[in-house]
Chain A
């Protein structure tokens, strides 16, 4: 089974609108961490947000928030007020245990002016 599943290969959003990028995960480890990264066309990996499995509240970082639904094993990224510079690939990732990291296949987001 896939550890991280991102079911949206491509998404479009109008500038200034909000968009949700889906991510589901699979683990039996009670301690894990969930991450979202942005990869623009230049290729670097940019950290966006982190959610620990024991965190009670959803993580937020500026315009980014993580909708963490533990029972459903989902960790969706919400980007509010989309900007043209948000156009990029977005990867969901999970740290399982102390060292194993798993990444999804990514979602390509295009922001339309």
Chain B
């Protein structure tokens, strides 16, 4: 499938477990992002990556780990899940628009529940 895909779409886990959310894009965009969306906060940036093997923290990185060994993949790992990490997670990439400027493309989201 073309575009950005995320898996799983839904995940229920328990406190303390490790969880990895997958993100794959087919455009070879350099920049990729992970956000979480919570009521009252909009979307908040967790981590972003400028290229393979280059990652940097966003606004809310604590409790998360990312890696990017290949341009097309950008997995997000919760090393020891906590209830406060219950959220909807969006992966995104940025590419150039035909008319100029940037466009950020979003995946469909992963709804994660930590019990």
Contacts and interface: CB of A to CB of B under 8 A. Distances in A.
Interface of A: 4, 33, 35, 37, 43-45, 47, 50-52, 55, 59, 91, 93, 95, 98-106
Contacts of A59: 101
Contacts of B90: 45
A3 to B, nearest CB: 9
Interface string B5-26: 0000000000000000000000
A99 B104 contact: no
Q: How large is the interface on B (under 10, 10 to 19, 20 to 34, 35 or more residues)?
A: 20 to 34
Interface string B68-105: 00000000000000000000101010100100111111
B43 interface: yes
A55 B56 CA distance: 28
Given A44-B106, A50-B103, A102 B45 contact: yes
Contacts of B44: 103
A99 B56 contact: yes
A101 B33 contact: yes
A49 to B, nearest CB: 9
A45 B88 CA distance: 12
Contact of A50 (B48, B97, B109): B97
A7 to B, nearest CB: 13
